[in-house]
Amino acid sequence: MAAATQARASAGSVEVAAISVAGQQHGLVALDRDRRVLRPAKLWNDTESAPNATALTAGREAEWAEAVGSVPVASFTITKLCWLAEHEPANFERIATVLLPHDWLTFRLSRRLVTDRGDASGTGYWSPADDRWRPELLARELPARSGEAWAACLPTVARPTETVGPLRAAEELGLPRTAIVAPGTGDNMAAALGVGLRPGDVAVSIGTSGTVFATSDRSPADASGAVAGFADATGRFLPLVCILNATLVTEAFARLLAVDVGQLDDLALVAPADAGGVVLVPYLAGERTPNRPGATGSVSGLRTDVSREALARAAFNGVACGLLDGLDALARAGVATTGGRMILVGGGRRSAAYRRVVADLSGRPLTIPAPDELVALGACIQAAATLSGDDPFAVIDRWGVRRGTSVEPDLAVDRASIRSAYAAAAAPRPAGNDGK
Q: What are phi and psi of 335, to 5 degrees?
A: -85, 135
Distance CA 236, CA 197 (A): 11
Query: Residues 59, 62, 67, CA angle at the centre, nearest 5°?
Result: 120
Q: How far from each other are the two terminal CA atoms of the chain, in whole angstroms? A: 45
Q: Is 372 among the residues known to form the active site? A: no
| The dihedral sign for the CA sequence 387, 388, 394, 398 | negative
Tell me which DSSP letter residue 298 carries. E
Q: Residue 180: which H helix or E strand, with range? A: strand 180-181
For residue 34, what are the CA distances in angstroms to 95, 115, 153, 413? 10, 19, 13, 60
How many Cβ atoms from other residues are within 10 Å of residue 130's Cβ? 12
Specify whether the backbone of 363 is left (phi greater than 0), alpha (psi in -120 to 50) or beta: left
From the list 187, 265, 274, 360, the catalytic residue is 187
Distance CA 217, CA 381 (A): 20
For residue 162, what are the CA distances in angstroms to 169, 218, 406? 19, 22, 35
Alpha carbons within 13 A on the beta-carbon side of 401: 30
Per-residue burial over 227-256, b = 16 or more CB atoms within 10 Å of its CB, e = otherwise: bbbbbbbbebbbbbbbbbbbbbbbbbbbee
Q: Catalytic residue positions?
A: 187
